[in-house]
Each structure stands twice: as structure tokens, then as C-alpha cells.
Structure 1
Amino acid sequence: MTDHSVPSTTAEAIQPSEASNRISVIRLMGSRLVWPLVSLAVVLVFNAIFIPSFFAVEVRDGAFYGSLIDVLNRGSIGIILAMGMTLVIATGGVDLSVGSVMAISGAVAALILTETQLGMWAVLPCALLVAVLAGAMNGVLVAYLKIQPIIATLILMVSGRGIAKFITGEKIITIGDDSYNYFFDFIGKGHLFGLPFTVTIFLSLFVVTGLFVRMTSLGLFIESVGANETASRASGIADKWIKIAVYIFAAFCAVIAGLIDSSNINAADTMNAGVFTELDAIFAVVVGGTALTGGRFSLTGSLIGAVLLQTLMTTLYTYGVPSDVAPVPKAIVIVAVCLLQSQVFRTHVRRLFGKGAKR
């Protein structure tokens, strides 16, 4: 008689292995970081084929220069804003006022540096005060007065730019690049270890923020408030103070971004400072996998999302795409990544291709 026990045992052993591999693939595809990384890789491959000079890096006066460095330098503002926006969105809110807060901080810095002899030691605490006041205003409106976040922050978005214009007298204040303003000039145009100082700023902020939200209970509280505010309050979490704290942090990030922006151009341009940056920050957070409904969030995903958007825009400009047309492919990429992150969309695609294969 022929013994069939070994083949059957082998077949039984193979089936669970195949099922395990399928589960691993499905989990990988469902990861929040996979699709932003895949999209970033696609953009980089496009550059490698059509714009090889994109990866060229040269050293001048001990500093690195090139398109890759420009992505990190110019994307620093978006990355910093995305970090603050991530925590706000994680609580189920949104902050549309970060662009106006950028304009206010730039105006305050320019006024101090040009009209007084106080210097940077006075700019930093005044900028911090702007962050606390702006963030607390948004947080109180949302947490205590129960105004919808999009409306509460829209108030400061509109009035904030008016405040910035009032501070500057509705004119562009030029900041001299003399030795007196060296430290302010260094914020946006300086280099540390060969890289733009802006890279050091956003990396330091990313590490410190990541340690606070992942090594302490703060991150859990934020996710809890965003997932179920009522249950969080019932379990003893001070949900109102959590919301105020994240709005203050978002304003703090906006203030840093505003100082970088003003330092880059050596001026306070209240008309153009931070325009549409709140939308780019929201895009970066969503592309990074954080849901607008609140709950679980990913600072790493937001950072990747911001780098992806800046890499895409730099690629389009380098390739010769007009600035008026560039937002169109940018929107297409955002929609594509968001769809790929949707479990429902991926399920429909698998079923569609499955039916096609059977036919």
C-alpha cells in the first residue's frame, strides 16, 4: 500500500504558511507609513530617471548644497507645522490659524529687532508669549465654549493677519543682516554640521515631541480624547486641558516656523507669510496616516508626508512645471495616497482584480 501521510502533512504545513504570508502582506499594506514611503520612493525614482542632477550634492564653504538639501531646508516649515497639527488633529480638532500666527511672530520679531536694542534675547520670550496667547485662545474656544475647531481657529486665522498688519503698520519691515542680528539671521540661513540650521530645528523638535508623546502618558491621553472624549472624561482625563495644551503646542510650532520664514527673507511680510501653510500641514498629516476624526496619530507619518509633498513640489519645479499648474499633480498624489491608505478602497480593488482574473 502507498503511504500518503507525508504528502498530506506537507500540504497541511504549506497552507498555514501561505495564509501567514498573506496576513503579513495585508498588515504591511494596511500600515500607515507604507503608502507615504512608497509614494516618496516613486518620486525619487522619477528623479533618478528624468532628473539625475536632483541627487547631486556639493560642498561649499563647509556646507552641503543640492536639491535634496533644498527639500529639507524649504520643507522645514511644513514639517514643523505638521508636528503641531498632528497633535491637534489627534484630539479631533484642526488649526487653521497657524499661518496667521506665523505672520504675527514674524511681525513681533521684526519690530523688536528694528525698533529696539533688545535683540534675540527679547525676541524668543515674546514669540513664546504669542504662542501661549494664540494657542490658549483657540483651546478655550474649542474646549470650554464648545465652538467647532474649524470655526474657532478660523477666527484667529482672519483676525491674526490683521493683528500682524497692525504691528507692522501695514508695511514690510526689513531686518538688517548686520552682526547685531546675526543670531536671527542664523535661524533661517545658518548651517550646523554642514546642514541648514532649519534641519537641526525640526529634527530636535521631532525627537523631543516624540519622547514626550511616546515615553509618557501624554500621547495616550491625546489619543483617548480624540477617540472618545466622553469616556476619557469619565476615566479622569482632563480633556479640556489636553485640548488647550495641543493648541498651544501647534501655535508654538507656528511661531518657530514664522521666525524661520522671517529670517529667510530678512523681513516681516504679513501679506505673504504663512499663506496656505495650514492646508499643507493638514495635507501632510492626512497623507502621513493620521485620521481627521481623531484618535491614533503618527508623528513619523506626518514628517514623511511633509517631506513627500516638498519633494514632489521641488521635483515639479525642477522639471519645469509652471507654479500655476504644480498644485494639480500635488492634489492627485494626495488623493492617491489617501485612497491607498483606505482599507475599503483596497478591498474593492482586490475584489475587482479578483473578478477580472476569474474571467
Structure 2
Amino acid sequence: MMNLKGLSINPKIWGPILSLVAIIVIMGIIDPGFVRIEFKDGRFYGSLIDVLVRATPTAIIALGMAVVIGTRGIDLSVGSVVAICGAVAAMLITETDLSFASVMVLSLAAGGVIGMLNGIMVSYIGIQPIIATLILMVSGRGIAQLITGGRSVSFDSVAMDIIGSGMFLAIPVRIWIAAGLLLLTILVMRKTAIGLFIESVGANARASRYVGIEARLFKMFAYVFSGICAALAGVILIADVGIAEINRLGLWLELDAILAVVLAGGSLNGGRIYLGLTIIGALIIQTLTTIIFSSGVPVEYNLIVKASIILAVLLVQSPTTQAAIKDLNMKRKGVRT
């Protein structure tokens, strides 16, 4: 950390923000239309607005993933949870006369139950998080297919249309939903003891037990929250297109969510949760995705870029790399003195 005229600047905090700004600036120089925003018919238009809108599901899932990773866990099942809960919502809309509020509650509850099952396997049975959640990652889309009978389910719902493409104060409703969830998560994680307990469990679960913190309970909470976030993202995704296509719904979103947390500076070793920076990480991912798609590059390159970023960030965060950088800085200071 360095101090500039009394202002403390933490590279770990400003790194993701400056990275996002640099990407946007560079793209704006290459294509000025990328940063152009217009206001027509009561709403904003432009590539940057599209980035915000399309990043919403990833950002919501990444919030849950950040909490799980904060406990030194991981949730590979979120993409499948998106598919399952999207299928549940679509079937409830088309096959029942339930109100929209009931559909939402049941869909989110389904995600919470799935998260609870993951939490039980990790916390109480003792299965490694990557294995426990991999089980549902593999089987989840099959479960979603069973729910829909193996077909794509289309529906017509005014309330879902509002979530998918509605506007409030010239801002898409789904952005308001994501902002509300972020605010709620910050309040819970930063204004109550829950956040402190979760981070302490991730830093050292054994020490947490010695001071009376029920580590298993807070790990369970993290996975339940992740499941609810994935369920909400699933509802938003099907609301966007008016159809639940199980084979594609939520595909690879677990990769995007993990990458967003890693880009935010979160360590897979747990102990720290960066909520605001996780949103920045999701925006970086979506900005890169939008740039790749708009440039006409085949979609396969999108996955290669994401995987390369994950590898680069993990290499930078590795203890070996950090030790090498520290040694290099010490040698430079030695030479100067």
C-alpha cells in the first residue's frame, strides 16, 4: 500500500477498477461507438448499457460465490442450479395458477434447498467442496430435464417481461434487482457479525470453533445464499427470452462467477470477501465478452480468454509469485541504499 498526499491507495482494491476503466478506454479509442450512450423513448441505449444488463446474472451469482469462497469453499453447481430453478419457474408459470410472488418464492426456495444440500455434504458429512458441488454440476441439468420433460418451456407473463426487459427510472429493472441484492448483502456481511464469522471460518475454521463460532452453520449459510443467488439469476435469464432452454441455461456461469471473485482479489484459500469488487469483476468479464462478440471472433475464443485470465490471476496470487515479487523489491531497495 502506498500513500499519495495523505490518500491511501491499495493496489488490491484499485487494480480491478483500473483494469475495467483501462479496457473501456482502450476499446473507446479503437471504436468510439462502444462508449456512446443515447437516451431514446425513456431508456438508455449503448454498448456500455448492454454490458450492465448482460452482466446482471453473472454479478448476482458471483455475490453468492464470493461468500462461499470466503469460507474456503467453492460452488461448481451454480450453473445447474440456474437451470433447475429456471425450469421450476417456467413450469410453475405454465402449469399452475400460482401468483407471480408464489412462483418467485418457490423458485428461490428451490435454490436455497439445493444450496442447503451442498452445505450439508460439505459441512456435516465432510465431503470436499469441489467434489460435493461437482455432483450437482454433473447431474443438475438432468434434473432440470426431468422437471420440463426434456423440452424447452416457453411462457407468457407480464411480470416476467418486466424483470427481463422492464425499465424503472430509465434503468433496467434487472439492474435494480442486482443493486438491491448487493446492498442487502453488504448490510448483512458488513453491518452484522455474520460477515466476520464467515471470514473467520474461511481463515481458520479450527480457531473459529475454539472461540465458539459454529463453523458448520456458517458454511451452510454460505451455500444456501449461493443457491438463492443462482436461482434469482435463473429467473432473470428465462425472463429475458421468455423460454427455459435447459441445455443452454446457465451454461459455464460457474466459470464466470469464480473468475469474477478471483478478479476482485478474492483468494480461493478463503478468509476475505470483496463484494463491490466482485461486481467489478463481473463487469470486466462481460465487457470482454461483449468486445469479443462485437468483433466477430468465434465464441470459442471467449472461453479461451476467460481461462487465460483465470490462469494469469492465479499465477499472480500464488505464494511463489508473491514471494518472488517481495524478494525482487527487497533487492531493489538494497541496491538503492
Tell me what 1:80 maps to.
Answer: 60
Tell me what 1:281 maps to.
Answer: 257
**Alpha-carbon distance in structure 2 between the residues aligned to 1:253 and 1:211:** 16
**Alpha-carbon distance in structure 2 between the residues aligned to 1:143 and 1:207:** 27
Counterpart of 2:323 in structure 1: which amino acid? V
> 1:293 deviation in Å?
0.5
**Alpha-carbon distance in structure 2 between the residues aligned to 1:21 and 1:172:** 56
Contact 2:3/2:9 (8 A) holds in 1: no
> 1:48 deviation in Å?
1.7
Of structures 1 and 2, the larger Rg is shown by 1
1:4-15 equivalences under 5 Å are none
> 1:241 deviation in Å?
0.9
Are 1:115 and 2:91 counterparts? no
Which runs of 5 or more residues in structure 2 are unaligned?
Answer: none
Contact 2:202/2:271 (8 A) holds in 1: yes
What RMSD over aligned residues (CA atoms) do the two structures have, in Å? 2.4
**Alpha-carbon distance in structure 2 between the residues aligned to 1:232 and 1:316:** 45
The two structures have a TM-score, normalised by structure 2, of: 0.92
2:171 to 166, 190, 195: 195
Tell me what 1:165 maps to.
Answer: 145
1:23-42 equivalences under 5 Å are 28=9, 31-42=11-22
The alignment of Structure 1 onto Structure 2 pairs a total of residues equal to 332
What fraction of aligned residue pairs are identical, expressed as a percent? 44
Are 1:307 and 2:288 counterparts? no
Are 1:344 and 2:320 counterparts? no
Counterpart of 1:203 in structure 2: which amino acid? A
Contact 1:39/1:337 (8 A) holds in 2: no
Tell me what 1:145 maps to.
Answer: 125
> 1:66 deviation in Å?
0.8
Pair 339,37 (structure 1): closer, same or farther in 2 beyond 3 Å: farther
Tell me what 2:136 maps to.
Answer: 156
Contact 2:262/2:313 (8 A) holds in 1: no
1:215 to 179, 187, 191: 191
Contact 2:108/2:232 (8 A) holds in 1: no
Tell me what 1:238 maps to.
Answer: 214
> 1:350 deviation in Å?
4.7
Which runs of 5 or more residues in structure 1 are unaligned?
Answer: 1-19
Tell me what 2:205 maps to.
Answer: 229
Pair 24,150 (structure 1): closer, same or farther in 2 beyond 3 Å: farther
**Alpha-carbon distance in structure 1 between the residues aligned to 2:265 and 2:256:** 14
**Alpha-carbon distance in structure 2 between the residues aligned to 1:52 and 1:337:** 29
Contact 1:36/1:287 (8 A) holds in 2: yes
SS at match of 2:298: coil
Contact 1:339/1:345 (8 A) holds in 2: no
Pair 231,72 (structure 1): closer, same or farther in 2 beyond 3 Å: same
Are 1:95 and 2:75 counterparts? yes
> 1:336 deviation in Å?
4.1
Range moving further from structure 2, 310-319 or 298-307: 310-319
